[in-house]
Structure 1
Amino acid sequence: MDSNLLKVFVAVSEQKSISLGALELGFTQSNVTLRIKQLEKTLGYELFHRVPKGVILTQEGEKLYPLAKEIVQKIENASIQMQNMKEQTLLRIGTSQANATIRLLRFIETVQRDFPLMSLEVYTSGTPSVLEKLLAYQIDIAFITGDPKHLDIEVLNQFSDDLYLVEPQDKRCPNTLIGYREKSTHFDFLKAYEEGLGNKTYQTMIVENYEVMLGCVKAGMGKAFLSKKIIEKFGYVDTLTLTKLAQNECDLQTRLVCRKDNVPFIADYLQGLC
């Protein structure tokens, strides 16, 4: 079976549209239609139902999709690994949002200076999503918060973050915890800390912007748990109350990680960064 046909199938499946799939792949719509028909002829099944707004998978298409997705990902990863056997030509970086704010730009500048011919790609999300991408071979390295505790993951480097409970200075603080996203290691720690104090009735507020989050704290809308580097970056150190919390057994250090079976060619370099 031609893997290129599977790549077309995956693109159309994810876009739910032949025209959008063609746009993603850089093909003509007629070319994509022809390739889908070739794949259907090879397999002996129709893979899509045509609907007014595009296409949807048939029952056979639903069964094929996860298998095709895995094959396409493995082929793409094999291609990248072969290119990187003698030198790192592409480095795909994943990072949690906090690490993107604290250290990503400096990391990119340093790597581009030392490896000017290497291309970089960046994916940003919460630590759980970043780890999922890493384990699926969709990124090469990742900045994450905490110990991944996964047999397939290798830690390349480790960084300490100065973390503080942040509260308004001159306003009464409501029982509201402010986080960047609901699934966040730092936010989970803050909620567990409050519950450990017997606070079971707090409300939560999600603000996906650190500057706005700090502004909300200053305005007396709640409290947050953030790295001091983020607080300094947006100029709030002198206008908020910062309290250092005992982190107990909660490991909140930043780690730079990779898959054990997909260690970057520049691993030694990455291990030496500080």
Structure 2
Amino acid sequence: MDTELLKTFLEVSRTRHFGQAAETLYLTQSAVSSRIRQLETQLGVNLFTRHRNNIQMTDAGERLLPYAEMLITTWLLAKKEVQNSPQHKELSIGAAPLLWESLLTEWLQDIYRQFPGIQLEARIGQRQTHVKQLHERTLDLLIATEYPKMDELSARKIGELVLQLFTSDHGKKKALPFIRLDWGADFTAPEGEWINNEKQAELTTSSVILAGKIMEAIGGKAFLPSRMGRKLPHVTPDEHVRIVRPIYAVWLHNSDRGQEISSLLSMPLKDAAG
């Protein structure tokens, strides 16, 4: 039995809505429908009756519900026991490449200076992947510019990141290409106040280093961390364009690594403005 199918079944049974279940699980609605069909095929019964804006559980679905909850709980307990074995000592921290490059690497250095011998795993990836890993208890801590508002997750603002619009024109007279960095979905609106939204970005990337290299090679404009951009000799900041992004720590509120997470969060992020 694929536990992902059972988790999808439980979420649809809770929301009675494929779209809402898809949003919570970070899946497409078609993927949720496909998983439910797979589970129904394996069991040989229909689990839901589907009518427009009205999804109800069948008798078979009602009978499956307590067993699905028990199986998922048992699986999570088994994973917890395995992960609490002597081999599982690392505390895992996930963040997007942009944050590791612009802010978190120095924070990690400070942690190792403060806690010699600590064992950490630094994961580079996308926010939605890390949120899923938090729920699966395969990730202990997420650092992000946005946090999911879910009851089972705790979040704390731990700092800020100041972004400025930097340009590198190489003496060119033509319009500069725009390089878009993925600072989060809710960054689109403030970004659009300074960048013509109708203008297509010539490069979209999740790497500050890559954006800086491209700007050095062909010129362009991009929102970069203030203190990082000032270290690049070929770019010029616009002192009038500054956008502050909050930095959040996110973890399961009932995490068994709570004490270690609290110790890490006692280490302040250095002033991102520099």
Where on the TM-score scale, by shorter chain, does this alignment land: which range? Answer: 0.5 to 0.7
Task: Check conservation: 2:101, 2:209, Cα contact below 8 A.
Answer: no
Quick check: 2:155–2:249 contact (8 Å CA) kept in 1?
yes
The answer for the alignment partner of 1:129 in structure 2 is 129
CA contact (8 A) 1:89 1:119 kept: yes
Question: 1:178–1:224: 8 Å Cα contact kept in structure 2?
Answer: yes
**Residues in 2 aligned to 1:119 and 1:258: alpha-carbon distance in whole angstroms:** 18
> Over residues 117-161 of structure 1, what are the superposed CA-to-partner deviations in whole Å (9 max), with x where a residue is unaligned?
543222111333323322332210111113443332223451121
- 1:83/1:73 Cα in 2 relative to 1: closer, same or farther (>3 Å)? same
Q: What does the per-residue CA deviation read over 1:81-139, in whole Å, with 9 as the maximum and x for residues that have no partner?
A: 5879xxx9330111121221134333333434444454322211133332332233221
Aligned to 1:206: 204
Shift of the 267–260 alpha-carbon distance from structure 1 to 2, 3 Å rule, reads: same
**Mapped pair 1:192 → 2:195:** no
Q: 1:241 matched to which residue of 2?
A: 236
What is the CA–CA distance in structure 2 between the aligned matches of 1:212 and 1:100, rounded to whole Å? Answer: 13
Contact 1:168 1:240 in 2 (8 A): yes
Provide the secondary structure at the position in 2 that maps to 1:253.
strand
Q: Which amino acid aligns with 2:213?
A: G
**Which residue in 2 is equivalent to 1:273?**
267
Residue by residue over 1:205-231, the C-alpha shift from the partner in whole angstroms, topping out at 9 and shown as x without a partner, is 124542231132244453211212332
Aligned partners of 1:264 and 1:63: how far apart in 2? 39
The gaps in structure 1 that reach 5 residues or longer are 1-5, 11-58
User: For residue 217 of structure 1, what is the aligned residue in structure 2?
Assistant: 215
Q: 1:169-180, aligned counterparts within 5 Å? A: 169=169, 170-172=171-173, 174=175, 176-180=177-181
Q: 1:152 to 1:177 in 2, by over 3 A?
A: farther
Distance in structure 2 (CA, Å) of the matches to 1:197 and 1:157: 26
Q: 1:272 to 1:61 in 2, by over 3 A?
A: same
CA distance 1:79–1:62, shift in 2 (3 Å): farther
Q: TM-score, normalised by structure 2?
A: 0.59
3-state SS of paired residue (2:95):
strand
- Alpha-carbon distance between aligned partners in 1 of 2:183 and 2:195, rounded to the nearest angstrom: 20
Q: Describe the SS at the equivalent of 1:150.
A: coil
Amino acid at match of 2:198: T
Kindly provide the amino acid, as one letter, of the partner of residue 101 in structure 1: E
Amino acid at match of 1:77: K
Structure 1 residues 271 and 119 mapped into 2: Cα distance closer, same or farther (>3 Å)?
closer
Question: C-alpha separation between the residues in 2 aligned to 1:109 and 1:214?
Answer: 23
* Residue equivalent to 1:165: 165
TM-score (norm 1): 0.59
Given the superposition, is the C-alpha separation of residues 268 and 215 from structure 1 closer, same or farther in structure 2, using an over 3 Å criterion? closer
Aligned mates of 1:104, 1:216 — CA distance in 2: 23
CA contact (8 A) 2:110 2:267 kept: no
Q: Show the counterpart of 1:37.
A: none
> Which letter does structure 2 place at the counterpart of 1:253?
P
